[in-house]
């Protein structure tokens, strides 16, 4: 008799963002005349950059000719893209990353989830709390998280990020094997400086642990003390895998391209993880569409860079509007300087979902309840800066009006 | 201390197709003046259909405007595509498949590999021998295959497909839980009729087993007795998951789109696999690019259908040329009628790799050694029909000349 993966049955019912979407849909149905402004899911709204559009048209034309047609490409990505990543994202910052350490993929979500394939079930995993749910759920599915009781998985190590520690996780007291870090952080929107990252690399070296470093929001960094890559920290290539994405950098959420860096120096019990990940990708993945890789390549042209950075600046301006407006309205807020997320403390100690409901009912603004990201997110809601500027201003005015 | 997934370390060194590619590259380097004709990897050569190109251009334009921009799409695929699949691939053949049973993805290889996520490690798996290596390797990686000794994994059940059984697998004598079937078959190129499939559905029902049915080559079916979907067999929706792809149907090997059908009726120990796969995809996948889904949709327009079927007919004509030429040259060949693959017996009982080398050295034609697909493939090589017609004819003439 076939048997399912029982770990799936332990997952709590519904995914955070679908619950949020359902509540928003129910509100719209009950209030068809009222406007809804979504500041919940981290999805971009600005169109793709003209340079990207141009590159895609050119690649589509190639695919329609016998000479320009591309069939199966390398599972790891085309050299034209891997070389550009090496040059522009790493060499330009003085970081030595090789092209064969870059694995182009369809998304950081896929990679953050699939990376678990190359690790034993028998690893102790540490996650920040609150946290991007994919890290937790994929480990739960793989059987690394244990059982879910009282809002926590009993085999995960949670690293609380709260007001009292400046929302920075502390080094785990017990020994852990795999550590997920995300800076600039989702959902809190804070970023770690070089000095703040150093102890993590030291911890990983000392304990033979691996850091899974999600750097999907690096394009939003404005502070020179905040590293764009964990490899800016000495020794990090021996202990860390880095995830990057074009989703937020270049508005590729519906275009799908990302990459993961697995340095050759990174060995676990003498085994190069680069080889294992390469084997995983060659066996279970067939590369990113040719036209999409050409689109990603265009992000690195002078024009493409300028255009995509303008979009990032636009979202950062929204973040500033949210931060300042909420502060003015009496909220305590965090993040939003090096990230498109603003972490707002609910007024009078309200529960996250209660405040989410209040905002939705009274203003039509959709946020994400902090508690959905983990127990330590209780008492907060997350705003995203990805709306239009007009809607962002409108949402802030509505919120000010009810307080 | 972090621990790797030890199962990866049990995998034999190199992937079949990379060894083939390396040998071909070495030949080219040693013989720069000689032409190489690749009939090894199953990659298409004809450009994308004009209707597909047009749809992609239109979608690219949309992505460059504020009104037409698409961010995150549904992880399962857009309704416009799922509905077309339901209508054209299933309802048109009298098969009742619902849109929410369709999961659009980036490839059948990804899906065939990732589907293992929702099953327990503790399942007995049966595969055909010879077999598409992905089924075996992904189970080995997950720990379901045991150890690799003497060319076989000791915990897999191999179902030999040989001349004496018409290359049709026999029902396993021992009880198995998961059965991989691929018809029209890769690598042998034979197809199962409705009558031949029925006992498999019965077996699965009787033993509470699940059939993973890879139907990536269904567009090549010419025989009316051969079903295009396993759901043409009564009761199959209760026991089978079906994998389909646009790779060979519409030349999408470098464009990347496929889909998997998980019927609601399919329950394992009372659990709907549809829900588990949905959870897997929502957690570890973010959907196929919008422009690519529009490209796939165009395959179902009248023009797109006509154009893509012309390409399939072109490859089938190549298959006919290969079959007839090799037969004329004294070879015993199979397949190539309902599939783009021809399975040729080596002359005088030569070993697969020896004959591969002989063909490469003496004609510059690259095939795939049958033994690379499993022990029962020894004594065969696989030809693919995806070259140009000119190269196919040229290759056949060269082979005839050396025999």
pLDDT in tens, B223-265: 999 999 999 999 999 999 999 999 999 999 999 999 999 999 9
Beta-carbon-side half-sphere exposure of residue B330 (alpha carbons within 13 Å): 8
Burial class (CB in 10 A: 0-12, 13-18, 19+), B195: exposed
d(CA B340, CA B186): 9
- Using CA atoms, how far residue B388 sits from A130, B266, B360, B393, in Å, is 56, 42, 18, 9
Q: Is B340 on the interface with A (CB under 8 A)?
A: no
Q: Which DSSP string do the residues of B244-261 spell out, in sequence order?
A: EEHHHHSS-TTT--EEEE
DSSP letter (8 states) at residue B87: I
Determine whether the annotation assigns residue A217 to a binding site. yes
- Euclidean distance between the first and the last CA atom of chain A, given in angstroms as a whole number: 59
The 3-state DSSP class for residue A346 equals coil
pLDDT digits (tens, 9 = 90+) for B105-152: 999 999 999 999 999 999 999 999 999 999 999 999 999 999 999 889
Q: At what angle do helices A352-363 and A389-402 cross, to 10 degrees?
A: 100
d(CA B125, CA B159): 11
Residue in B179, B225, B185 with CA at minimum distance from that of residue B205: B179
For an interface test with B, give the residue of A286, A293, A298, A304 to mutate (most B CBs within 10 A).
A286
Tell me what the pLDDT averaged over chain A comes to. 97
Give A-chain residues touching B43 at CB under 8 angstroms. Answer: 71-72
Share of chain B above pLDDT 90, in %: 97
Within 10 Å of residue A343's Cβ, how many Cβ atoms?
26
Beta-carbon-side half-sphere exposure of residue A47 (alpha carbons within 13 Å): 17
Are A112 and A243 in contact by the 8 Å Cβ rule? The answer is yes
- Whether A323 has a pLDDT exceeding 70, the answer reads yes
Average pLDDT, integer, range A318-335: 97
Pairing of strands A125-129, A156-160: parallel
pLDDT of the residue at B17: 81
Determine whether the annotation assigns residue A356 to a binding site. no
Determine whether the annotation assigns residue B245 to a binding site. yes
d(CA B351, CA B377): 10
Q: Do A120 and B6 touch (CB under 8 A)?
A: yes
Q: Which residues contact B169 (CB under 8 A, 6 or more apart)?
A: B128, B159, B160, B161, B181
d(CA B248, CA B258): 10
Query: Domain extents for chain A?
Result: 7-47+303-402, 53-300
Beta-carbon-side half-sphere exposure of residue B29 (alpha carbons within 13 Å): 6
CATH class of B53-301: alpha beta
- ipTM score for this prediction: 0.97
C-alpha dihedral (B210, B211, B216, B219), degrees to nearest 10: -130
B125 phi, psi to nearest 5 deg: -110, 135
From the CA of B234, how many Å to the nearest CA of chain A? 20
Within 10 Å of residue B94's Cβ, how many Cβ atoms?
8
- Using CA atoms, how far residue B132 sits from A121, B128, B129, in Å, is 27, 9, 9
Burial class (CB in 10 A: 0-12, 13-18, 19+), A34: exposed
Within 10 Å of residue A394's Cβ, how many Cβ atoms?
17
B 201-240: CB under 8 A from A: 207-210
- Say if domain A7-47+303-402 classifies as CATH 3.90.1150.10: yes
Tell me what the pLDDT averaged over chain B comes to. 97
Average pLDDT, integer, range A378-392: 97
Helix (H) or strand (E) holding A26: helix A16-30
From the CA of A329, how many Å to the nearest CA of chain B? 31
- Whether A74 has a pLDDT exceeding 70, the answer reads yes
Burial class (CB in 10 A: 0-12, 13-18, 19+), B19: middle
Which residue of chain B comes nearest to A251, CA vs CA?
A: B71
Please state whether the peptide bond connecting residue A130 to the residue before it is cis, i.e. omega within 30 degrees of 0: yes
From the CA of B328, how many Å to the nearest CA of chain A? 31
Burial A230-242 (b: 16+ CB within 10 A, else e): bbebeebbebbbb
d(CA A246, CA A210): 24
pLDDT of the residue at B313: 98
Q: Which residues contact B132 (CB under 8 A, 6 or more apart)?
A: B112, B182, B186, B187, B214, B373
Please state whether the peptide bond connecting residue A184 to the residue before it is cis, i.e. omega within 30 degrees of 0: yes
Q: What is the CA radius of gyration of chain A?
A: 21
d(CA B113, CA A282): 11
Pairing of strands B152-153, B148-149: antiparallel
Within 10 Å of residue A65's Cβ, how many Cβ atoms?
11
d(CA B386, CA B311): 10
The 3-state DSSP class for residue A311 equals helix
Q: Is B66 on the interface with A (CB under 8 A)?
A: yes
Residue in A95, A358, A352, A359 with CA at minimum distance from that of residue A229: A95
Within 10 Å of residue A173's Cβ, how many Cβ atoms?
7
Cα B76 from chain centre: 21
- Residue ranges with strand state E in A177-305: 178-182, 210-214, 240-245, 258-261, 267-268, 271-272
Within 10 Å of residue A27's Cβ, how many Cβ atoms?
17
- Euclidean distance between the first and the last CA atom of chain B, given in angstroms as a whole number: 59
Helix (H) or strand (E) holding A177: none
Give A-chain residues touching B138 at CB under 8 angstroms. Answer: 283-284
d(CA B53, CA A61): 7
Average pLDDT, integer, range A208-232: 98
DSSP letter (8 states) at residue A4: B
- Residue of B71, B117, B289 lying closest to A289 (CB–CB): B289
From the CA of B347, how many Å to the nearest CA of chain A? 31
The reply to whether A7-47+303-402 and A53-300 are identical in fold is no
DSSP letter (8 states) at residue A238: G
Q: Is B174 on the interface with A (CB under 8 A)?
A: no
- Using CA atoms, how far residue A158 sits from A155, A180, A351, B9, B254, in Å, is 9, 10, 21, 31, 41
Q: Is A8 on the interface with B (CB under 8 A)?
A: yes
d(CA A324, CA A397): 12
Are B291 and A255 in contact by the 8 Å Cβ rule? The answer is yes
Q: Which residues contact A181 (CB under 8 A, 6 or more apart)?
A: A128, A169, A192, A197, A200, A211, A212, A213, A214, A230
Residue in B153, B135, B137 with CA at minimum distance from that of residue B241: B135
Average pLDDT, integer, range B273-293: 97
CATH class of A53-300: alpha beta
Confidence label for A403 from pLDDT (cuts 50, 70 and 90): confident
Average pLDDT, integer, range A342-367: 97
Q: Which DSSP string do the residues of A249-278 spell out, in sequence order?
A: HSS-TTT--EEEE--TT-EETTEEHHHHHH
pLDDT digits (tens, 9 = 90+) for B324-339: 999 999 999 999 999 9
Residue in A189, A225, A184 with CA at minimum distance from that of residue A320: A189
pLDDT of the residue at A14: 67
Within 10 Å of residue B310's Cβ, how many Cβ atoms?
11
For A80-122, the three-class secondary structure string (H helix, E strand, C coil) is HHHHHHHHHHHHHHCCCCCHHHEEEECCHHHHHHHHHHHECCC
pLDDT digits (tens, 9 = 90+) for B296-312: 999 999 999 999 999 99
Residue in B306, B293, B228 with CA at minimum distance from that of residue B261: B228
d(CA B203, CA B170): 11
Fold of B9-47+303-402: 3.90.1150
pLDDT digits (tens, 9 = 90+) for A156-180: 999 999 999 999 999 999 999 999 9
Give B-chain residues touching A289 at CB under 8 angstroms. Answer: 254-256, 289, 292
**Cα angle for residues A172, A177, A182 (degrees, 5° grid):** 65
d(CA B312, CA B125): 33
């Amino acid at each position: 008799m076939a048997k399912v993966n029982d770990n799936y049955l332990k997952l709590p019912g519904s995914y955070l963002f679908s619950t949020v979407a359902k509540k928003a849909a129910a509100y719209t149905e009950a209030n068809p005349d009222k406007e809804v402004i979504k500041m919940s899911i981290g999805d971009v709204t600005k169109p793709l950059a003209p340079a990207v559009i141009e590159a895609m048209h050119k690649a589509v034309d190639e695919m329609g000719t016998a000479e320009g047609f591309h069939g199966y490409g390398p599972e790891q990505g085309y050299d034209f893209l891997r070389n550009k990543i090496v040059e522009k994202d790493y060499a330009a910052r003085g970081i030595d990353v090789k092209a064969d350490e870059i694995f182009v993929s369809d998304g950081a979500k896929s990679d953050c989830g699939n990376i678990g394939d190359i690790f034993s079930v028998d690893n102790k995993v540490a996650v920040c709390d609150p946290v991007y749910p994919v890290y937790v759920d994929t480990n739960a599915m793989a059987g690394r998280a244990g059982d879910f009781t009282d809002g926590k998985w009993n085999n995960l190590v949670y690293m609380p990020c709260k007001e009292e520690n400046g929302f920075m996780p502390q080094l785990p007291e017990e020994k852990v094997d795999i550590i997920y870090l995300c800076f600039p952080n989702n959902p809190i929107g804070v970023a770690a400086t070089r000095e703040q990252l150093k102890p993590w690399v030291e911890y990983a070296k000392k304990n033979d642990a691996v850091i899974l470093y999600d750097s999907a929001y690096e394009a939003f960094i404005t502070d020179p003390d905040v590293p764009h890559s964990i490899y800016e920290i000495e020794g990090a290539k021996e202990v860390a895998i880095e995830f990057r994405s074009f989703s937020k950098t270049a508005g590729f959420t519906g275009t799908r391209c990302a990459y993961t860096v697995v340095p050759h120096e990174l060995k676990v019990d003498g085994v190069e993880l680069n080889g294992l990940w390469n084997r995983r990708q060659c066996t279970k993945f067939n590369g990113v569409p040719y036209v999409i890789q050409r689109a990603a390549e265009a992000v690195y042209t002078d024009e493409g860079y300028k255009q995509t950075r303008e979009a990032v600046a636009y979202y950062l301006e929204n973040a500033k509007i949210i931060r300042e407006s909420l502060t003015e309205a009496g909220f305590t807020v965090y993040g939003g300087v090096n990230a498109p997320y603003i972490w707002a403390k609910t007024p009078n100690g309200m529960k996250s979902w209660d405040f989410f409901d209040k905002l939705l009912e009274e203003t039509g603004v959709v946020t994400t309840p902090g508690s959905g990201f983990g127990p330590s997110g209780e008492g907060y809601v997350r705003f995203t800066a990805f709306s239009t500027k007009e809607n962002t201003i409108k949402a802030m005015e509505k919120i000010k009006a009810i307080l």
